[in-house]
Amino acid sequence: MKQWSTMSDAEVGDNRFKMCNCRVVKQERNMDQEISNAITEEREYQRREYPHGQKHEVGSWILIMQKELDEAKVAWFGNGGTEYCMIEILQVVTVGVAALEEYGVYDAIEYGQRKE
């Protein structure tokens, strides 16, 4: 059975990290489902945290994702460890999901960004 731990505000060195209500997921057979569940749970947390369904320009979503990615970098270089970095990466991904929810999903092949 997997081990889950809920994160709140955590302090690592001189850096403060706002942790999401995330679970630590260890590698196991159902990793795709675990990742999907973690994204869903983080997205639900974000909806509770920002209940008014904030709308943003695409560029604003990119900046929000960059802020979360910057927090992952600080965690990594500040010796926060893999766990803190992965929590931040989950937040980056989930902010991306929020942007996709607002603007939709576009086919990369159709727009010439990827070959079949």
The predicted-structure confidence for 8-57, as pLDDT tens digits, reads as follows 333 333 333 344 444 555 555 588 999 999 999 999 999 999 888 778 99
The per-residue pLDDT for range 56-72, each reduced to its tens digit, is 999 999 999 999 999 99
Does residue 113 lie in a domain region? no
User: How many structural domains are present in the chain?
Assistant: 1
Q: What is the pTM of this model?
A: 0.71
Does residue 44 lie in a domain region? yes
Provide CB contacts within 8 A for 76, sequence distance 6+: 85
In whole angstroms, what is the distance from residue 50 CA to residue 17 CA? Answer: 18
Does residue 1 lie in a domain region? no
Does residue 4 lie in a domain region? no
What does the pLDDT read at residue 36? 95
Q: Which domain holds residue 76?
A: 10-103
Does residue 67 lie in a domain region? yes
Does residue 25 lie in a domain region? yes
Does residue 59 lie in a domain region? yes
